[in-house]
Amino acid sequence: MEIQTSIHHQIEKLYGQNIAPEAIQLQKTKKEFEGHLTLVVFPLLKISHKNPEQTAQEIGAHLQNQIPEITSFNVIKGFLNLTLSANYWIRLLNDVHTTEHFGIRPVAENAPLVMIEYSSPNTNKPLHLGHIRNNLLGYSLAEIMKANGFKVVKTNIVNDRGIHICKSMLAWQRWGNGETPASSGKKGDHLIGDYYVRFDQEYKKELNDLKAKGLSQEEAEQQSTLMADAREMLRRWEAGDEATVALWRTMNDWVYAGFDETYKRMGVDFDKIYYESQTYLTGKEKVLEGLQKGIFYRKDDGSVWANLTADGLDEKLLLRADGTSVYMTQDIGTASLRFADYPIDRMIYVVGNEQNYHFQVLSLLLDKLGFEFGKDLVHFSYGMVELPEGKMKSREGTVVDADDLIDEMVQTAADMSKELGKLNDCTPEEAQDIARMVGLGALKYFILKVDPKKNMVFNPKESIDFNGNTGPFVQYTYARIQSVLRKASATSAALLPATPLSDKETALIQALAEFPTAVKEAADGFSPALIANYVYDLAKEYNQFYHDFPILKESNEDVRNLRLILSRNVGKVLYTGLSLLGIEAPEKM
């Protein structure tokens, strides 16, 4: 029986009544006090009818008497600190040791299916730092859900149609001189992104020229031929004009090739990709169905709307006056197709918090349309990534490009290990691979350790820091453990002798045993950050232990054996924890 359960049981026995689980507050004893587990007795005062110290005393005495694993106790104010036997810790370590995938729950045949949408790029510009946070959170959340026994389908919705796509197409047609990724040596997504920027520049120029002739901003926008041409292109695309569709296909393919490269480097992937060009028509259909059923209404100009004022929200446009679809229409179509394709029990959208309102509306609309999953959808909303100078602005060129950033991180990792002489005994290929793992590990950890819902500041200079609360620190700890294990492996694999344990050793075992709880809480709270901080704490704990207790020099066979087994299991948990974050763990570094 779990020790927590025994304690609960014994307290009920002591007072002769059932006690709610919330009243039994057990926590890890703080470092500065003696003991391993602490019972907070305040909630029990109503039952004991005694003051905190007396209550703690009598519970402590009773527990020590009845539970063999509890060897002693002390009371400080309303806190009962319990000390557990070495035997108990060794048994716990043994459990960790003999459980192959410790902390991971297997996926059952009939497990609920979770679909996670993340990434969701537009095909008119390359991925940037904001996408990196999205992709890392989505991928990590998928891994965490899997580890908690859910079936997971990772999905991506590519926004491959719309006026913004036409802008880059138009700019390329007009000023591109037939430039291709092959002819220019640029990645496809970057090439297209350049033409999107070009459109914006030319458009601004045109507006300024018009305004110089005395037109207002609004009049200029209306008279812009460039924008009119882009709209005309969108109309031709929707009408299925061959040349337009062919151009669209060619340019999108360039972008996809570019994205695939970036995804691969980031180490993220998808089980199923949806394209808005293939879902927006379904969206339109659903909206028109809703219109017929009287759920939506049409205004005089022909546009279609939903009235959500009864639900405390506003009115929402679903189809424009000219009959074309908007973002919301597409999302309805995509959801509809997804639920037709998969038996989804839970739908999670990993999308930035600037769209909180959008998902509130989407949830309501789907529900009104008769999709019962609508009201249960989860918007995993995360905060923006800002730079020390402030918000990223594409127009001001302050956007941090994903590819550039990854290159920079890997290069810095390579430079630093070279400087420290870390990888002198590696082949150049090995050294490069380790630099890749470490550079990416630094980036991923830096972003994932932050509570997702908070905005965060990303300082490119400071992120390339391999000290402190960072991915490389955890990776380093893992690599060091592997190194120790290569030098000497434990003689006996399973049963451990009743060896006396130091405080640091019990602390480490206790930390190991908390891993499954961290995995579960990370899934419940949608928080990879919990895993990140857990893994860091464990690594830190190990480093301190490692420093104070030589392993290979230890002459007592049993003690040495214990420390090796302990090290191996810390390594095992670090490895698993890192993989839940999508971070690789090098065998040496």
Site for RNA in 479-538 (CB under 7 A): 479-480, 482-484, 487, 529-530, 533, 536
Detail the DSSP E strand segments found in 233-289: 272-275
416 is a contact residue toward RNA (CB under 7 A): yes
Nearest to 8 by CA among 32, 24, 22, 29: 24
- Min dist. Cβ of residue 31 to RNA (A): 7
Contact 284, 325 (CB under 8 A): yes
Binding to RNA, residues 557-576 (CB under 7 A): none
- Choosing from 255, 508, 518, 589, the residue that interacts with RNA (CB under 7 A) is 589
Nearest to 468 by CA among 460, 459, 477: 477
Q: What angle do CA 550, 83, 31 make, to 5 degrees?
A: 60
The interface region with RNA, picked from 74-82, 108-116, 288-296, 492-500 by CB under 7 A, is 74-82
Contact 385, 459 (CB under 8 A): no
Which burial class, exposed, middle or buried, applies to 214 when counting CB atoms under 10 A from its CB (0-12, 13-18, 19+)?
exposed
Contact 41, 56 (CB under 8 A): yes
373 is a contact residue toward RNA (CB under 7 A): no
- Min dist. Cβ of residue 10 to RNA (A): 19
Residues 6+ apart with CB under 8 A from 198: 171, 175
- Find the Cα–Cα–Cα–Cα dihedral 492, 496, 497, 503, rounded to 10°: 120
384 is a contact residue toward RNA (CB under 7 A): yes
543 is a contact residue toward RNA (CB under 7 A): yes
- Choosing from 3, 19, 40, 86, the residue that interacts with RNA (CB under 7 A) is 40
β partners of residue 390: 387
Read off φ and ψ for residue 557, nearest 5 degrees. Answer: -55, -45
- Choosing from 11, 29, 127, 584, the residue that interacts with RNA (CB under 7 A) is 29
CA distance linking residue 58 with residue 70, whole number of Å: 14
Q: Which is nearer to RNA, 215 or 426 (CB)?
A: 426
Q: Which is nearer to RNA, 263 or 546 (CB)?
A: 546
- x-marked contacts with RNA along 259-298 as a string, rule CB under 7 A: -----------------x----------------------
Q: Which is nearer to RNA, 121 or 374 (CB)?
A: 121
- Min dist. Cβ of residue 381 to RNA (A): 8
Read off φ and ψ for residue 298, nearest 5 degrees. Answer: -110, 135
- Min dist. Cβ of residue 565 to RNA (A): 14
Which burial class, exposed, middle or buried, applies to 417 when counting CB atoms under 10 A from its CB (0-12, 13-18, 19+)?
buried
Contact 455, 130 (CB under 8 A): no
Residues 6+ apart with CB under 8 A from 310: none
- Choosing from 64, 278, 355, 579, the residue that interacts with RNA (CB under 7 A) is 355
118 is a contact residue toward RNA (CB under 7 A): no
Q: Which is nearer to RNA, 205 or 454 (CB)?
A: 454
Nearest to 83 by CA among 149, 39, 146, 23: 39
- Min dist. Cβ of residue 57 to RNA (A): 14
CA distance linking residue 307 with residue 573, whole number of Å: 51
327 is a contact residue toward RNA (CB under 7 A): yes
The interface region with RNA, picked from 172-180, 240-248, 362-370, 409-417 by CB under 7 A, is 409-417
Instruction: Give the amino acid at 466.
Output: F
Contact 114, 152 (CB under 8 A): yes
- x-marked contacts with RNA along 43-62 as a string, rule CB under 7 A: x-------------------
What kind and span of H or E run contains 40? strand 37-40
588 is a contact residue toward RNA (CB under 7 A): yes
- Min dist. Cβ of residue 35 to RNA (A): 7
337 is a contact residue toward RNA (CB under 7 A): no
CA distance linking residue 433 with residue 437, whole number of Å: 6
- Choosing from 209, 289, 315, 389, the residue that interacts with RNA (CB under 7 A) is 315
7 is a contact residue toward RNA (CB under 7 A): no
- Min dist. Cβ of residue 124 to RNA (A): 9
Contact 382, 138 (CB under 8 A): no
Q: Which is nearer to RNA, 258 or 472 (CB)?
A: 472
- Choosing from 6, 9, 15, 42, the residue that interacts with RNA (CB under 7 A) is 42
- Min dist. Cβ of residue 422 to RNA (A): 4
128 is a contact residue toward RNA (CB under 7 A): no
SS3 369: coil
- x-marked contacts with RNA along 428-467 as a string, rule CB under 7 A: ------x---x----------xxx-xxxxx-x--x--xxx
- Min dist. Cβ of residue 19 to RNA (A): 14
547 is a contact residue toward RNA (CB under 7 A): yes
Binding to RNA, residues 191-250 (CB under 7 A): none
SS3 226: helix
Binding to RNA, residues 136-175 (CB under 7 A): 159, 162-164
125 is a contact residue toward RNA (CB under 7 A): no
- Min dist. Cβ of residue 588 to RNA (A): 4
387 is a contact residue toward RNA (CB under 7 A): no
Residues in the chain: 589
Cβ-based neighbour number of residue 36 at 10 Å: 22
Q: Which is nearer to RNA, 29 or 155 (CB)?
A: 29
CA distance linking residue 332 with residue 3, whole number of Å: 49
CA distance linking residue 223 with residue 302, whole number of Å: 24
- Choosing from 19, 107, 317, 378, the residue that interacts with RNA (CB under 7 A) is 317
Number of residues that bind RNA (CB under 7 A): 92
